[in-house]
Amino acid sequence: MKIYRLKTEDRRNITAYGSEGAEIMPILRSTTACHVAQLRLSAGGSVGLHPAVGEQVFLVLEGEGWVEGETGERVAVRSGEAAYWTNGENHQSGSKKGLTALLIEGEELIVRFSLEEGDS
């Protein structure tokens, strides 16, 4: 067994697409095109509108914020909830109070979360 620690010096700021108050920390990368990272948004932070590179899951671990997909509708998300975007789907995210999310990007992801009532 090995124990790993997330270190602040491994974080980098996200400034692309007009992003503000956003930091990302790579966690793992797979040889089968799957990437996992931690995203932190400070209060008022956001990641600007950009296309997903592969399928993407945005799992909120702490805090609350909003996510947006192709429709342009902002949807509130909080700890324990996740957004899923398809390959190439334009999306963005943000938070008034701050949040920490786990980002999982890859191909042919099999999402096993429960959908909210009315979602498809």
99-115: pLDDT as tens digits: 999 999 988 887 777 76
- The answer, yes or no, to whether residue 37 has pLDDT greater than 70, is yes
**pLDDT tens digits for 42-53?**
999 999 999 998
DSSP characters over 53-100: SSEEEEEEEEEEEEEE-TT--EEEEETT-EEEE-TT-EEEEE-SS-EE
